[in-house]
C-alpha cells in the first residue's frame, strides 16, 4: 500500500466490527512493544528487578480489575482472564525473566523478550493448531507487562477524546477502553467474529478492523472519520466530508439515545396487536447484546459458526453444551435454532464435496444435511437433548418440497427413538418449523403448513431466488427489489397458508429490521420479526406508534399495484402520513 497517497484525503475499507460513526484525532498505540536493549551494571540489577516486579503486580491488579468489572456482563471472559493471570505469574515468565536479568545483566524488557522467546520455541513444536494458537494469549499478557514497564499508557494522557489505532487489540484492551476518553478504534488485523469485535459491539464502541496497514498510514494527531456502519475510515477528510459526517453523527447520536428508551417496552400497536420482536445471532456471546436491546427471544440462531474454522465438526456433547447455555441464558424466552445451513465445502474434515458451478442452487442446507445423515443426526441429538432444559424451536433451512420436509422429520423421529433407547431425556414438545426461502416452498406452503408448527420467511434468499438476482453480482444487484410485487404476493401467500392452519409466520431477513417495510409486513400479517439486535429498539418504537387497522389497509392496497415503483411511492406516502416525526418528508 502506498503511504504517500494518504497524505491527502483518502478512504480505507475494512470490516465493520462495531457500528457507529466517530470523528476525532487518532492515537497510534504501539502495543507491539518497542523497547531498548540496555546492558546494566551489577548494582543496577536489584532496582531493575524491583521495577519488573512492580510491573507484574500492576498487571495482575489490572487484570483482576477487568475481570471483576466486566464478568457480570460477559461471563465467558472470567475464565480467559484467569488463565491470563496464571500466565503472568508463571515461572517461565516471571522467574525466568529475573534469572536472565541476573545472569546476563540486561534490562527487564530485554530479559522478558528472551523469556518469551523460550516459551515460543516450546509452542512452535506443537501440532494441534488450537492449542498452538494459545501462544497469542501469552503474547497479549507479555505486551501488557511491557506497557506497564513503560509507565502509564500514553492513551491516558490525552485530554480530548481520541480514536485508537493499533495492529490489534486484545479483548481485555477493548474491555478497558474508557468511553469518556475513547471514541472508537481501528486495527490492521482482526475479524468481525473475533472476541475483540464482539466485546466492542456489546459495549457500543464503534470499530473498524482488518484495515491492512492502517498503523502505517496514520500518525498520532491525524484527524480521521471512522464509520463503523460501513466499515470505512477516511483519513485527512475534506471539510465537506467532515460536515456531512458531523451532521450524520449528531443525528445518529440523538437518535440512538432516544431510541434505546424503547428497547424494553412491549412491542404492541396502538390498537393492541402484539408482535414478537426477536434477535438474529450466530455466536453465544451475542446473547448479551440481544437481551440489552430488548429481544423477546432469539428468532434465528445460525448454527453454522461452530462448524467453521476447526479441524473436525463439533461433537454432540459440545453442541449440547452450547445449545443448553443458549437456552438457559434466554429463559423463559424462546430460542429458534436453525440446523446448519452449509455446503459440504464448509464442513471441517469433509473432503468429498464436489466443486459446484452454482453453489446457491447446489448441495447445501437441508439437502446437505439429509445426505450427510450423521452430521445432521449429531446436531439433532444435541438440539433435542438441550430442548429438555428450555424453550427450543428447531428450524430447517431451505426446504423446497414436502418430501424433503417429511424426510427431515423422519430423521428427527429416528433420533428421538435413539435417545429413548439411550435413556437420555429430551424435549418432547419442541416446535419444528421451516425456513420459507425457496419459491417452490411458497407455492406449496399450504401443504407444508400441515406438517410444521411455524414458518420463518427468509427474505434475503427468497428475493434472490424469486427474482433470479445474485446480490453479489454488481451488474444486476440494483434489480434486487424487496418491494417487487412478486415478493409481496409471496409473503402474503405464505402468511395466508400458515394462518389457515393456525401456525405463526415469522420473517427473519434484512427486511425485518428495516423500519420502512414494517407497516407493510405487519399489514400482510407477519406475526414475528427477527433481526439484528441493534435494530430492535427502533422497530419497537415504530410498532408502538402503528395501528393494525391502517396497516391492513396499506397491505391490501399495495397488493393491487403492478410495479415496485408504484408500491414504493405508495409506501413512502403512507410513511410520511402516518409517522410524520420519522418520515416528515417523503422518502
Taking the C-alpha atoms of residue 210 and residue 235, their distance in angstroms, rounded to an integer, is 16
| 143/557 with CB nearer another protein | 143
Q: Which of 3, 126, 348, 361 binds another protein (CB under 8 A)?
A: 126
Please say whether the beta carbons of 457 and 437 come within 8 A: yes
Residue 132 as a binder of another protein (CB under 8 A): the answer is: yes
Question: Least separation, in Å, of the C-beta of 74 and another protein?
Answer: 15
* The three-state (H, E, C) secondary structure of 2-19, written as one string: CCHHHHCCEEEECEEEEC
Could you say whether residue 131 binds another protein (CB under 8 A)?
yes
**Look-up of cell digits 416525526:** 581
Of 127-135, 173-181, 202-210, 544-552, the window that binds another protein (rule: CB under 8 A) is 127-135
Q: How many beta carbons lie within 10 A of that of residue 4, not counting itself? A: 6
Helices in 285-372 by DSSP H: which ranges?
287-292, 316-330, 365-371
Asked if 467 and 484 touch (Cβ cutoff 8 Å), the reply is: yes
Q: What is the nearest approach in angstroms of another protein to the Cβ of residue 64?
A: 15
Looking at beta carbons only, is 123 or 158 nearer to another protein? 123
In this chain, which stretch among 117-125, 281-289, 428-436, 534-542 interacts with another protein, using CB under 8 A? 117-125
Residue with Cβ nearer another protein (21 or 81): 81
**Residue matched to cell numbers 419497537:** 540
Take residue 350 and report the three cell numbers written for it: 469433509
Q: Is the dihedral of CA 469, 471, 474, 480 positive or negative?
A: positive
Q: Which is nearer to another protein, 134 or 154 (CB)?
A: 134
Sheet containing strand 10-13, strands side by side: 10-13, 232-235, 223-227, 21-28, 162-166, 182-187, 207-209, 15-18
195, 293, 324, 484: which one is catalytic? 195
The site map against another protein for 64-103 (x = CB under 8 A) is: ---------------xx-xx--xx--xxxx----------
Candidate ranges 316-324, 383-391, 403-411, 524-532; the one touching another protein (CB under 8 A): 316-324
Place of cell 470505512: 232
Tell me how far, at minimum, the Cβ of 138 lies from another protein, in Å: 7
Coil, helix or strand at residue 298: strand
Q: Which of 53, 58, 114, 134 binds another protein (CB under 8 A)?
A: 134
Cα separation, 545 vs 383, in Å, equals 38
Closest CA to 342 of 398, 412, 384: 398
CB of 314 to another protein, least distance (A): 8
Toward another protein, which CB reaches closer, 91 or 191? 91
Number of amino acids touching another protein (CB under 8 A) = 28
Based on the shown chain and the rule CB under 8 A, indicate whether residue 318 belongs to the binding site for another protein: yes
Among 11, 104, 247, 317, binds another protein (CB under 8 A): 317
Question: Nearest Cα to 82, choosing from 64, 70, 55, 65?
Answer: 64
Rounded to a whole number of angstroms, the CA Rg of the chain reads 27
CA-based max dimension of the chain:
91
Helix (H) or strand (E) holding 492: helix 485-500
Stretch in the footprint of another protein (CB under 8 A) among 26-34, 312-320, 350-358, 569-577: 312-320
Task: Confirm whether 499 is a catalytic residue.
Answer: no
Binding test (CB under 8 A) with another protein, winner from 9, 238, 315, 573: 315
Asked if residue 111 binds another protein (CB under 8 A), the reply is no
195 given a catalytic annotation: yes
Under 8 Å between Cβ of 184 and 209: no
| 321 in contact with another protein (CB under 8 A) | yes
Which residues are within 8 A (CB) of 317 and not within 5 positions of it... i.e. 6 or more apart?
Answer: 382
Is there binding between residue 284 and another protein (CB under 8 A)? no
Task: Please report whether residue 380 would count as binding another protein according to CB under 8 A.
Answer: no
Q: Does 125 bind another protein (CB under 8 A)?
A: yes
Output the smallest distance, CB 318 to another protein, in A.
4
Stretch 448-487: interaction string toward another protein, x if CB under 8 A: ----------------------------------------
Question: Torsions phi, psi of 498, nearest 5?
Answer: -65, -50
Give CA–CA dist 516/568, Å, rounded.
10
Residues engaged in binding another protein (CB under 8 A): 79-80, 82-83, 86-87, 90-93, 119, 122-123, 125-128, 130-132, 134, 137-138, 315, 317-318, 320-321
Active-site positions? 195, 508
Amino acid at each position: 500500500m502506498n503511504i504517500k497517497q494518504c497524505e491527502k484525503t483518502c478512504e480505507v475499507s475494512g470490516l465493520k466490527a462495531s457500528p457507529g460513526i466517530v470523528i476525532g484525532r487518532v492515537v497510534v498505540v504501539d502495543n507491539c512493544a518497542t523497547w531498548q536493549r540496555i546492558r546494566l551494571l551489577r548494582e543496577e540489577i536489584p532496582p531493575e528487578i524491583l521495577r519488573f516486579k512492580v510491573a507484574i503486580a500492576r498487571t495482575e491488579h489490572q487484570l483482576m480489575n477487568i475481570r471483576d468489572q466486566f464478568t457480570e456482563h460477559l461471563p465467558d471472559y472470567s475464565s480467559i482472564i484467569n488463565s491470563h493471570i496464571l500466565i503472568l505469574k508463571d515461572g517461565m515468565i516471571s522467574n525466568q525473566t529475573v534469572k536472565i536479568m541476573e545472569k546476563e545483566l540486561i534490562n527487564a524488557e530485554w530479559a522478558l523478550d528472551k523469556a518469551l522467546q523460550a516459551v515460543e520455541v516450546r509452542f512452535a513444536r506443537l501440532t494441534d493448531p488450537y492449542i498452538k494458537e494459545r501462544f497469542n494469549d501469552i503474547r497479549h499478557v507479555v505486551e501488557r507487562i511491557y506497557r506497564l514497564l513503560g509507565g502509564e499508557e500514553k492513551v491516558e494522557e490525552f485530554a480530548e477524546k481520541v480514536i485508537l489505532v493499533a495492529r490489534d487489540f486484545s479483548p481485555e484492551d477493548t474491555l478497558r477502553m474508557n468511553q469518556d476518553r475513547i471514541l472508537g478504534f481501528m486495527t490492521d488485523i482482526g475479524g468481525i467474529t473475533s472476541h475483540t469485535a464482539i466485546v466492542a459491539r456489546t459495549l457500543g464502541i464503534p470499530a473498524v478492523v482488518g484495515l491492512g496497514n492502517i498503523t502505517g498510514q496514520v500518525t498520532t494527531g491525524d484527524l480521521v472519520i471512522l464509520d463503523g456502519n460501513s466499515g470505512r475510515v477516511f483519513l485527512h477528510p475534506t471539510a465537506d466530508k467532515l460536515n456531512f459526517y458531523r451532521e450524520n453523527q449528531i443525528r445518529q447520536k440523538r437518535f440512538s439515545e432516544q431510541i434505546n428508551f424503547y428497547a424494553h417496552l412491549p412491542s404492541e400497536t396502538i390498537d393492541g396487536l402484539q408482535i414478537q420482536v426477536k434477535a438474529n445471532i450466530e455466536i453465544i456471546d451475542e446473547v448479551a447484546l440481544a437481551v440489552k436491546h430488548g429481544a423477546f427471544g432469539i428468532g434465528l440462531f445460525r448454527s453454522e459458526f461452530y462448524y467453521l474454522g476447526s479441524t473436525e465438526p463439533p461433537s454432540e456433547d459440545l453442541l449440547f453444551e452450547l445449545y443448553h447455555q443458549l437456552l438457559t441464558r434466554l429463559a423463559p424466552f424462546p430460542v429458534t435454532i436453525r440446523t446448519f445451513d452449509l455446503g459440504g465445502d464448509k464442513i471441517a474434515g469433509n473432503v468429498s464435496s464436489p466443486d459446484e458451478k452454482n453453489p446457491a442452487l447446489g448441495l447445501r442446507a437441508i439437502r446437505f444435511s439429509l445426505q450427510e445423515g450423521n452430521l445432521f443426526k449429531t446436531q439433532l441429538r444435541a438440539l433435542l437433548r438441550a430442548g429438555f432444559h428450555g424453550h427450543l424451536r428447531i428450524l430447517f433451512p431451505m426446504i423446497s418440497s414436502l418430501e424433503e420436509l417429511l424426510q427431515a422429520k423422519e430423521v428427527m423421529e429416528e433420533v428421538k427413538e435413539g435417545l429413548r433407547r439411550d435413556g437420555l431425556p429430551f424435549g418432547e414438545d419442541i416446535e419444528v418449523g421451516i425456513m420459507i426461502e425457496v419459491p417452490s416452498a411458497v407455492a406449496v406452503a399450504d401443504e407444508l403448513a400441515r406438517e410444521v408448527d411455524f414458518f420463518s420467511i427468509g427474505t434475503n434468499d427468497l428475493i434472490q431466488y424469486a427474482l433470479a438476482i445474485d446480490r453479489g453480482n454488481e451488474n444486476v444487484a440494483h434489480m434486487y427489489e424487496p418491494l417487487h410485487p412478486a415478493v409481496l404476493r409471496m409473503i402474503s401467500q405464505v402468511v395466508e397458508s400458515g394462518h389457515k392452519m393456525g401456525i405463526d409466520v415469522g420473517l427473519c431477513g434484512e427486511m425485518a429490521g428495516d423500519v420502512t417495510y414494517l407497516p407493510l409486513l405487519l399489514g400482510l400479517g407477519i406475526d414475528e420479526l427477527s433481526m439484528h439486535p441493534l435494530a430492535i429498539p427502533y422497530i419497537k418504537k415504530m410498532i408502538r406508534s402503528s395501528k393494525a387497522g391502517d396497516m391492513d389497509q396499506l397491505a391490501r392496497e399495495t397488493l393491487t399495484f403492478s410495479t415496485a415503483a408504484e408500491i414504493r411511492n405508495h409506501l413512502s406516502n403512507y410513511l410520511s402520513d402516518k409517522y410524520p416525526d420519522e418520515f416528515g418528508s417523503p422518502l
